[in-house]
Amino acid sequence: MLLPHLTLVVSPLLALMQDQLAFLQRHGISAGSIDSAQSRDDAADVMARAKSGELEDPDGVRGAAEE
How many structural domains does the chain have?
Answer: 1
pLDDT at 4 over 70: no
Q: Could you report the per-residue pLDDT of 14-53, keeping only the tens digit for each?
A: 888 888 889 888 988 888 888 888 899 998 998 898 888 7
Adjacent-strand bridge partners of 10: 64
- What is the domain range of residue 49? 7-65
Q: Is residue 2 part of a domain?
A: no
Q: What is the pTM of this model?
A: 0.67
Q: Report pLDDT for 30.
A: 81
Q: Give the CA radius of gyration of the chain.
A: 11
Distances 63 to 23, 25, 53 between C-alpha atoms, Å: 13, 13, 15
Supply the CATH number for residue 51's domain. 3.40.50.300
User: Rounded CA gap, 36 and 3, in Å?
Assistant: 27
pLDDT at 16: 84
